[in-house]
Structure 1
Amino acid sequence: MTSTSNVLILLSDEHNARIMGCAGDATAYTPSLDKLAQEGTRFTNAYTPSPICVPARASLATGRYVHQHRCWDNALAYKGNPPSWGHRLQAAGIPVQSIGKLHYRNGNDATGFDQQLLAAHIQDGIGQVWGSVRDPLPDPFPTAPLFKNLGAGESSYNRFDRAVSQEAAQWLHERSQQTDSTPWVLFVGLVAPHFPLIVPPEYLKRYPVESMPLPRLHPDRGYHRHPWAERHARFSKHDEQLGTDERRQLALASYYALTSFMDHQIGNILNALSESGMAENTTVIYSSDHGDNMGERGLWNKCMMYRDSTAIPMIIKGPGVPVGQTVQTNVSLVDIFPTVLQKVGIAPTESDLDLPGRSLVDSANEPYDSTRLAFSEYHAVGSDSAGYMLADNRYKYHHYVGYEPELFDLDNDPFETHDLASDPTYAEIVDCMQKRLCAILDPIEVDTHAKSDQQVLIQKFGGRAAALGIGTPGATPVPSS
């Protein structure tokens, strides 16, 4: 049993796991995250339970997969059931607060926090209802203006993140003045590097636009998208909004700059933790809700099964965590639930035995577990059927309801450029991965459940035609600062 400690969870939004200096990206300037990795353990194979905000965050809260908590998309948000790790802390009398983005239904639901400061939730408590319309998927759909504005500037998201980091720093200083020795848990949610890709100019200057390398795979250069991904691309039309390679380079430079901006906010919070005198007795977990495609395959934002979208950064530092270590064992956001309980000294209950996660501290201290699977699923905007991802220690399998699967050999093809699923040589591996997936869920049955829940929501808002006009077309608004 590891020693108890405070827990500080730092969650960014849409951070591609490769875009960190400590992950080997020589272009990315992320000194705060690099230092955190040097002082703790970085997991090189971390995955989101779903490559979109609301479902992923509900999984982080509950320790359950999306098909278990049924928060399928960005309109069906977490409202306190199933119970979160926060509820368990509250029952044990352990202080638990949040600052920043949560992306639950609203701030009034009992979701497991004593207090929510600067809380950002789905807009008006309803979110993107239009994104729940997927059976059948509308085509064409009005293009959301995600890339109308790019580059140097300042957005409401930039101001929000600064306010969140300042609030978190103040919270840590004030907490250090209290004499109560009870462990505490603080969740801090930042929104960078999530679009809009607008960033203060001092960060963008570090990344010359003309030197940004273009995506490796793109339809303009001969790449053929899988039909499931192609269907999403036709729906979203994100790459068409950019239009030229010069604007794609500006988008990539802005994304890198937003990552550096986010890293700076993380640094401010970690500096405050150090100054507070509580660092030695605090476990710090850094991660993101999902990744970003960054133009690969002509795709932007998230929503795909490829690693750009499903892989996430995961770094942990604190008492009982090895220093300066990288671990290849597959881990997930669902592992945060048992990690938090373990670190504050709450014993697992019988119901916890059904949860898929295990403590990140245990994974950091044990030998590489080549048997552990990573799992992700998608039932949201732009998909006409469910997508599932299963990865073991070498192969990564994508299962799409109604479409052919994909298979990638991550050892020899880490950027997933060559689909092996149709190669007879790999037929046995494809069959094995499909059976392992079906041991977790019934792909068709879960697809049906998701669409049924979404249809109930659509009818609540007046039917298909009405639902298509309800909800923010782009980024969720955040509280003004």
Structure 2
Amino acid sequence: MMMLKSVFNLICFAGVSLVITGTTAYKSPPKAKAKPNIILIFTDDQRFNTVHALGNDQVITPNLDGLVRGGTTFTHAYNMGAWHGAVCVASRAMLLTGMSVWNVKEEEKNYASLVNSKGFWPQQLKLAGYETYMTGKWHVATDAAKLFDHASHIRPGMPNQTPRGYNRPLAPTDTTWQPWKEEYEGFWKGGKHWSEVVADDAVGYLDEASKKDVPFFMYLAFNAPHDPRQAPKRWVDRYPVDDIKLPASYLDEYPYKVEMGCGPDLRDEQLAPFPRTPYAVKKNIQEYYASISYMDEQVGRILYALKKSGKLENTYIFFTADHGLSLGHHGLIGKQSMFDHSIRTPLVVSGPGIPEGEKRDQDVYLQDVMATSYELAGVTKPAHVFFNSFMPQIKNKKKPGVYDEIYGCYIDLQRMVRADGYKMIVYPKASKVLLFDLKKDPDEMHDIAGNASSKPILKSLKQKLVKQQKMLHDELDLSKTNFSNFEGF
């Protein structure tokens, strides 16, 4: 299979590096009748550029780096948006049903019909002969235990946050709350860090799966690196605050924070003080990276168990997250924005026939993982599934992406469309349109909407946004807004 030996030659966890004998590489998918196993490693709040092998030299992620080296990475994977502040709810609902954002919002009111028709991802794979397993974060308005054959430690949307975890740190001397202090519970509630529990559960299931011939689907959902961003002290100490770099787009405050729904009344934004300070942002980034590294350590345990199980050569592994996180970019802390740091995620796939160490820059939605797994499992995509397999782009790096543009939304406060190297963001409550040239300005710091030369670009993106709104049943009428720097919708 097209998976580099380096993926599993060096797997790191618990501070120890284990050298594992590599497997012979195939040049095409196995021809055996057995269906491939499918594993999703799914994280929470993990931004697209928080993997060392994807260009972030600050963060330590040896096991995710192995997946990148041994598989294909989609560099521009996006979440479509959300209808309330818990963006992960919409993201996971889309992933598990395959429905687009506003359609699944309506379906969420009563999932019974979709459950009865076996329209959820694990149900479809079970019909195809798969044994299904999940552990970790759920946060979907239906019972995971009824959708999967096996479900362990079904977690809520986030670990309990303590009041001491908000509005901090006020200064370097503000050290009351520390991410390794188990008395604040959070990820430590129950006596063992939740990231470690996910790995324990996955390792246990893989041991059982090694004794069976049935193909399996594993949905492994880490709560990390969501706040409270907790990790053992040994990992926090690997990230001295003075060594942390501020984001290029760092601001003390974002001028449209209230109108876009990211003001002081939003829970996520309350985690750090207003206005932001360089120290507070660096401290939050320190804890974020430590949480990611500890989670990466647990991923290493899972990969090692997969190797031991004898199932590696016929297993596809998908790694992605439900959305990103701001953490100081543009003066924001949460994920409720249309900037890439909030809507763009890592997305890596490895397995039989997947090119190793390659990247694809076609725009995709992270929820395309579901449709891709259907293609790999030989499942006909149900009619209700909006998203699409990206296997054609994996097989042919020059093949255009399925989507002419990428759409984004947040409640009725933000809309976004990305196409042709540009991104347009609309804030209706601020009567504001922003435009970014993503090739010249990947950090989205220089709004060019007011430039005379931008008028044709804005007109084109407006048409694309209107088209997406109609297709996706987005009922927000932007034509009634008098935009100060655009000739209206």
TM-score range, shorter chain: 0.7 to 0.9
Task: Give the secondary-structure state (helix, strand or coil) at the position aligned to 1:98.
Answer: strand
Whether contact under 8 Å (1:46, 1:311) holds in the other structure is yes
1:120 and 2:155 correspond: yes
**Does the CA contact (< 8 Å) of 1:59 and 1:333 recur in 2?**
no
> What does residue 425 of structure 2 align with?
398
DSSP-derived class of the 1:250 partner? helix
Q: How far has the Cα of 1:338 moved from its partner?
A: 1.2
Q: What's the CA shift for 1:121?
A: 3.6
Q: For residues 278 and 444 of structure 1, what CA distance do their matches in structure 2 show?
A: 39
Q: What is the rounded CA distance, in whole Å, between the counterparts of 1:268 and 1:117 in structure 2?
A: 17
| d(CA) in 2 for partners of 1:208, 1:78 | 46
Look up the SS of the partner of 2:194 in the other structure: helix
Equivalent in 98, 101, 115 of residue 63 of structure 1: 98
Give yes or no for the alignment of 1:253 onto 2:280.
no
Q: Output the CA distance in 1 between the equivalents of 2:330 and 2:343.
A: 15
Confirm or deny: 8 A CA contact 2:58 2:244 kept in the other structure: no
CA distance in 1, matches of 2:47, 2:110: 23
Q: Higher helix share goes to which structure?
A: 1
Q: Which residue of 2 aligns with 1:407?
A: 435
Amino acid aligned to 1:207: Y
Deviation, 1:361, is: 2.6
Q: Do the aligned partners of residues 391 and 368 (structure 1) sit closer, same or farther apart at CA in structure 2, a change above 3 Å counting?
A: farther
TM-superposition CA deviations, 1:373-393 (whole Å, max 9, x none)? 45343445xxxx242222225
Q: 1:96 aligns with which of 112, 127, 132?
A: 132
Aligned CA distance change for structure 1 residues 290 and 78 (closer, same or farther; 3 Å): farther
User: Could you list the per-position Cα deviations for residues 302-321 of structure 1 after superposition, in whole angstroms to 9, with x for gaps in the alignment?
Assistant: 11100110000000000121
Aligned with residue 276 of structure 1, among 309, 312, 335 = 309
Matched, 1:157 2:184: no
2:397 pairs with 1:387: no
Alignment CA distance shift 1:336-1:243 (3 Å): closer
Distance 2:470 2:476 in 1: 10
Give, as a single letter, the amino acid of the residue that structure 2 aligns with 1:396: K
Structure 1 pair 121–146 and aligned structure 2 pair: CA distance change class (3 A): farther
Measure the CA separation in 1 of the matches of 2:283 and 2:91: 28
**Secondary structure in 1 aligned to 2:320?**
strand
**Contact persistence 2:36–2:215 (CA under 8 A):** yes
- Structure 1 equivalent of residue 20 of structure 2: none
Does the alignment pair 1:204 with 2:236? yes
Report the Cα offset of residue 78 of structure 1: 6.5
Q: Deviations over 1:280-331 (max 9, x none)?
A: 1000000000001011121112111001100000000001211110110111
In 2, Cα distance between equivalents of 1:421 and 1:344: 45
Q: 1:57 to 1:198 in 2, by over 3 A?
A: same
Change (3 A) 1:195 1:306: same
Deviation string, structure 1 residues 402-451 (Cα, Å, up to 9, x no partner): 432222111111111111222221111111112112212249973559xx
Return the offset for 1:94: 2.0
Q: Does 1:25 align with 2:56?
A: yes
Q: Counterpart of 1:43?
A: 74
**5+ long unaligned stretches in structure 2:** 1-27, 170-176, 478-489
Structure 1 pair 76/202, CA: closer, same or farther in 2 (3 Å)? Answer: farther
Match of 1:107 in 2: 143
Alignment of 1:268-307 (within 5 A): 268-307=301-340
- Structural RMSD (CA): 3.1
Between the aligned partners of 1:79 and 1:211, the Cα distance in structure 2 is 51
How much does 1:227 deviate?
5.8
What is the deviation of 1:340? 1.4
Tell me whether 1:84 sits opposite 2:120 in the alignment: yes
Equivalent pairs: percent with the same residue?
A: 26
Equivalent positions of 1:458-473 (< 5 A) are none
1:240 alignment partner, SS class: coil
Residue pair 2:63, 2:299 contacting (<8 A) in 1 also? yes
- Name the aligned partner's letter for residue 97 of structure 1: Y
Q: Is the 2:145–2:151 contact (alpha carbons within 8 Å) kept by the matching residues of 1?
A: no
The structure, 1 or 2, with the larger RCO (C-alpha pairs under 8 Å, 6+ apart) is 1
For these two proteins, the number of residue pairs brought into alignment is 419
Amino acid at match of 1:435: Q
2:211 corresponds in structure 1 to 177
Q: Deviations over 1:338-382 (max 9, x none)?
A: 111112221335x16xx44222332211233555345343445xx
Change in Cα spacing, 1:228 to 1:306, as seen in structure 2 (3 Å) is farther
1:194 aligns with one of 202, 226, 234 = 226
- For the residues of structure 2 that align with 1:230 and 1:213, how far apart are their CA atoms? 26
The alpha carbon displacement at 1:241 in A equals 5.9
Question: What is the distance in 1 between the residues matched to 2:275 and 2:168?
Answer: 7
Task: Report the secondary structure of 1:302's partner residue.
Answer: coil
TM-score of the pair, normalised by structure 2: 0.78
Is the Cα contact below 8 Å between 2:136 and 2:155 reproduced in 1? Answer: yes
Q: TM-score, normalised by structure 1?
A: 0.79
- For 1:267 and 1:340, the matched residues in 2 are separated by 22
Aligned-pair CA distance for 1:199:
2.0
Confirm or deny that 1:375 pairs with 2:416. no
Q: Which runs of 5+ in 1 are unaligned?
A: 128-141, 450-481
Decide which moves more: 417-426 or 306-315. Answer: 417-426
Encode CA deviations 1:32-63: one digit per residue, 9 max, x unaligned: 11100100001111111226110000011112
How far apart, CA to CA, are the structure 2 residues paired with 1:201 and 1:257? 9
In the alignment, the residues of structure 2 paired with residue 445 and residue 347 of structure 1 have an alpha-carbon distance, to the nearest angstrom, of 25
Instruction: Give 3-state SS (helix, strand or coil) of 1:196's partner.
Output: coil
Q: Which amino acid aligns with 1:273?
A: L
Alignment partner for residue 295 of structure 2, among 262, 269, 280?
262
Aligned partner of residue 408 in structure 2, secondary structure: strand
Secondary structure of 1:287's counterpart equals: strand
